[in-house]
Amino acid sequence: MGVAGCGKSSLGAACASALGMALVEGDAFHSQTSLQKMQSGVPLSDADRTEWLAVLARRLAESSGGTVLACSALRRAYRDQLRRASPGLRFVFLELSESDARARVAARLGHVFPVSLVASQFATLESPRGEPGVLTVDALRPLEALSADVCAWLTGTEKE
């Protein structure tokens, strides 16, 4: 979880591959209306996200074995919606600054999400620190190191 550009898709794919789990890419399930909104620089509303999260929650509830979900899940209520569908769900919070997020999104070509919306992601973000089952990581670290730490955390083999 985390704001646009934090690395959810990249880390999600790396972890799913390392753990031999299925990957659900949250961005692939936005409605046409939501995609058009983002493309034209309008942030998603709670209602847009609730419908989208309901679809993702169903995917989690229906999955057997482990599943990795790449999903912004910016607010506590959004994470709780997913937790209700998948008891014991754990979250990796990819933390980065607004200027770093802006730089990442600006450098990425051909993506629906415009740089102008990065500020709204930070306005919506409620940090998951303190919630159960959350690992917070520095999104600027190399992907391989992040993936190793997440896998160790999930499988209970992390070093003290």
Ligand X SMILES: Nc1ncnc2c1ncn2[C@@H]1O[C@H](COP(=O)(O)OP(=O)(O)OP(=O)(O)O)[C@@H](O)[C@H]1O
Ligand Y SMILES: O=C(O)[C@H](O)[C@@H](O)[C@H](O)[C@H](O)CO
x-or-dash pattern for ligand Y, window 64-103, by CB under 6 A?
Answer: --------x-x-----------------------------
What is the closest distance, in whole angstroms, from the C-beta atom of residue 5 to ligand X in the complex? Answer: 5
Residue 10 near ligand X by CB under 6 A: yes
CA-to-CA distance for 30 and 32, rounded, in angstroms? Answer: 7
Beta bridge partner(s), residue 28: none
> Would you mind telling me the total number of residues written for the chain in this entry?
160
The angle that helices 76-85 and 46-62 make with each other, rounded to 10 degrees, is: 30
Instruction: Identify which of residues 27 and 95 has a Cβ nearer to ligand Y in the complex.
Output: 27
Q: Which amino acid is at 71?
A: C
What residues between 39 and 98 interact with ligand X by CB under 6 A? 70
CA-to-CA distance for 41 and 112, rounded, in angstroms? Answer: 9
Stretch that binds ligand X, among 35-43, 81-89, 127-135, 138-146 (CB under 6 A): 138-146
- Measured at the CA of 89, the angle between CA 80 and CA 136, to 5 degrees, comes to 85
CA-to-CA distance for 132 and 116, rounded, in angstroms? Answer: 32
x-or-dash pattern for ligand Y, window 13-52, by CB under 6 A?
Answer: --------------x----------------x----x---
Binding site for ligand X (CB under 6 A): 4-10, 27, 70, 104, 108, 113, 142-143, 146
Binding site for ligand Y (CB under 6 A): 4, 27, 44, 49, 72, 74, 113, 121
